[in-house]
Chain A
């Protein structure tokens, strides 16, 4: 079914319209924006389902009507020296070699040179944080109190991606009933949803929240503090989950800045310059540009406008293997972010100037970087840049 848009949309909004449509209704198989970008083609399970149609209409109105396009700012681009074409079916080849282990929906493990690659990339990020910014190491749990995520406005702006952790209530009969219905040992059966409590914890969707939480009510004497941490992060992306591109459970390295506005802002800028030097050393094609987070559709237009208008987020998009139709593809593999003083106010962290601190971070999605490396340098050791070759292919 074709639905006319209230106005033609730009390339980025078109991509987000398609991407976020997976959260509209189970009765929607897919949404494609027409080439003219003034209409969408919706694949309904049942074309005569008025409820699903109404949801799609509300979704489109919300995403499009208040969206205000701002020009994209390009911080930098890099062109690799490796002249060979990008690999095809790189993910398939990684699986065939058992360097990628598919273990579930959005749950992917690494082994062999792919794992070595991830470790080498992470080591470079650690070096960047420690040597350039004096970062200190911290380590965080995968779990995060729901109350903390709520205070971070995560349920307000990203409710669609949250992974909540539940457990059975402490009740002998309910636990025993659960045990009995799962006696078959083949899958999970839930006999009574009341046997679960409202989740008090969630899986961590980003590394840096824990850092700010750990500094709650702190009065900083120095102008700023830099921390680095790596962790598993969890974002549910429904039908968009695919391979190493978009996993539910993935690894993120962050270098986190907490301090006065100018201290954080200067370091975010320097971090972007350092991230660019990294991809030059890794010899990867990329574009480093302003971007927005995947806010839920109801908050998409307003939050995206603020984020892009104020240059709060830059993403490094790296070229990866082409899609099944041969079309070129890029994915965001790293970012450099400012959060203004939101976390300073939320966690009552005071800076040396007596005001709520500002925060920012540089982040790397390590599995995506691995995919970009193998997409651009292939499986021939000789093509890999010296900065990675020995570590990946030893």
Chain B
């Protein structure tokens, strides 16, 4: 997975906000909060990071239902396409 792809860039954000070391691939279908160690206190950081990284405004409802890297990738790509 390239660090230049949306998925790769989101994985890097997940690693940072969950304080995970390493750069191996993260499972795209895992729940980032329940399975990948993103704590509740990091949710807002994750949201702001997605907005800053991709220059999009992420609606809260859509962010709430996008709990995997795969769903976040779809969401960000759709927002970028709509911009």
Q: A68-B60, A70-B60 are in contact. Are A309 and B48 (CB under 8 A)?
A: no
Name the distance in Å between B60's Cβ and chain A's nearest Cβ. 6
B44 engages A301 (CB within 8 Å): yes
* A340 and B67 alpha carbons, distance in the complex (Å): 15
Residues of A within 8 A of B44 (CB): 66, 68, 301-302, 305-306
Residues of A within 8 A of B56 (CB): none
A302 engages B64 (CB within 8 Å): no
Is A123 part of the binding interface, using a Cβ–Cβ cutoff of 8 Å?
A: no
Give A217-236 as 1s and 0s: 1 = Cβ < 8 Å from B's Cβ atoms: 00000000000000000000
Number of residues on chain B facing chain A (CB within 8 A): 11
Overall SS of chain B's interface: helix
* A309 and B64 alpha carbons, distance in the complex (Å): 7
Residues of B within 8 A of A66 (CB): 44, 48
* A301 and B43 alpha carbons, distance in the complex (Å): 10
A302 engages B60 (CB within 8 Å): no
Give B41-65 as 1s and 0s: 1 = Cβ < 8 Å from A's Cβ atoms: 1111101100000000000100110
Is A303 part of the binding interface, using a Cβ–Cβ cutoff of 8 Å?
A: yes
- Which chain B residue lies CB-closest to A311? B64
Number of residues on chain A facing chain B (CB within 8 A): 12
- Which chain A residue lies CB-closest to B45? A302
Overall SS of chain A's interface: helix
Is B5 part of the binding interface, using a Cβ–Cβ cutoff of 8 Å?
A: no
A292-310, CB < 8 A from B: 299, 301-303, 305-306, 309-310
* A325 and B45 alpha carbons, distance in the complex (Å): 40
* A305 and B43 alpha carbons, distance in the complex (Å): 8
B60 engages A303 (CB within 8 Å): no
Name the distance in Å between B33's Cβ and chain A's nearest Cβ. 9
Residues of A within 8 A of B45 (CB): 302
* Interface-central residue, B42, B43, B44, B48, by most chain A CB under 10 Å: B44
* A70 and B61 alpha carbons, distance in the complex (Å): 9
B43 engages A309 (CB within 8 Å): yes
Is B78 part of the binding interface, using a Cβ–Cβ cutoff of 8 Å?
A: no
Is B2 part of the binding interface, using a Cβ–Cβ cutoff of 8 Å?
A: no
A309 engages B41 (CB within 8 Å): no
Residues of A within 8 A of B60 (CB): 68, 70, 309
A310 engages B64 (CB within 8 Å): yes
* A303 and B40 alpha carbons, distance in the complex (Å): 7
B17-44, CB < 8 A from A: 40-44
B48 engages A306 (CB within 8 Å): no
* A306 and B63 alpha carbons, distance in the complex (Å): 12
Name the distance in Å between A171's Cβ and chain B's nearest Cβ. 41
Interface residues of B (CB under 8 A from A): 40-45, 47-48, 60, 63-64
Interface residues of A (CB under 8 A from B): 66, 68, 70, 299, 301-303, 305-306, 309-310, 340
Instruction: Knowing that A66-B44, A301-B44, A302-B43 touch, tell me 16 more A-B residue pairs with CB under 8 angstroms.
Output: A66-B48, A68-B44, A68-B47, A70-B60, A299-B41, A302-B40, A302-B41, A302-B42, A302-B44, A303-B40, A305-B43, A305-B47, A306-B41, A309-B60, A309-B63, A310-B64
